[in-house]
Amino acid sequence: MELWDVYDINRNKTNKTMVRGEAFKNNNFHLVVHVCIFNSHNEMLIQQRQPFKEGWPNMWDVTAGGSAIKGDTSQTAAERELFEEIGLKIDLRNIRPHLTINFNNGFDDIYLIEKDFDINQLSLQYEEVQKVKWASITEILAMIDNGEFIPYHRSLIQVLFDLRKQYGCIRLF
């Protein structure tokens, strides 16, 4: 049984929890995180979900993501999901998410990290991830068009690539 902290509309913890899968009460929200890792070749590390995974089986997705559990901060949830799903340990203690996207039942913090490493050294979580690879924006957009990638808005993928080296919406380079 997975417990989630419940937040109010202003993203304040309410000191209440809910069980994953329960119906949301009015004005109750939860926190989700996504981490997108980019390399110096302008590629994002993407993962293919397992065929038996509930929700988007066999589809490709961004590097890692999931729900924060009871007691998590945004950063600890992102660190945990990244380590659990692909075995990559990154300290996000002093890192803010580049984006927060509100959705019906919560808040989705998105971290954009630049890091080069050998993906053959990763340890993939069998229950979640069948494989990973580096992909360019062109490849990811084609995968979305072909129905192989979770159907994010194409413009979101563009924004992730555009903001990976900076905070804010004004082009600095």
Nearest C-alpha neighbor of 31 from the set 129, 110, 112? 110
Tell the residue number behind the tokens 């659990």, with chain if given.
84
Number of domains in the chain: 1
Please check whether residue 170 lies inside any domain of the structure.
no
Find all residues with CB under 8 Å of 24, minimum gap 6, and list them: 18, 30, 105
Please check whether residue 172 lies inside any domain of the structure.
no
pLDDT less than 50: residues of the chain: none
Containing structural domain, residue 136: 3-163
Task: Write down the pLDDT at residue 169.
Answer: 86
Q: Give the angle subtended at the CA of 39 by the CAs of 33 and 45, to the nearest 5°.
A: 50
Please check whether residue 102 lies inside any domain of the structure.
yes
Please check whether residue 171 lies inside any domain of the structure.
no
Please check whether residue 74 lies inside any domain of the structure.
yes
Please check whether residue 90 lies inside any domain of the structure.
yes
Please check whether residue 154 lies inside any domain of the structure.
yes
pLDDT tens string 91-127: 999 999 999 999 999 999 999 999 999 999 999 999 9
Task: Write down the pLDDT at residue 173.
Answer: 64
- DSSP structure class, residue 55: S
Instruction: Find the CATH number of the domain harbouring 13.
Output: 3.90.79.10
Please check whether residue 87 lies inside any domain of the structure.
yes
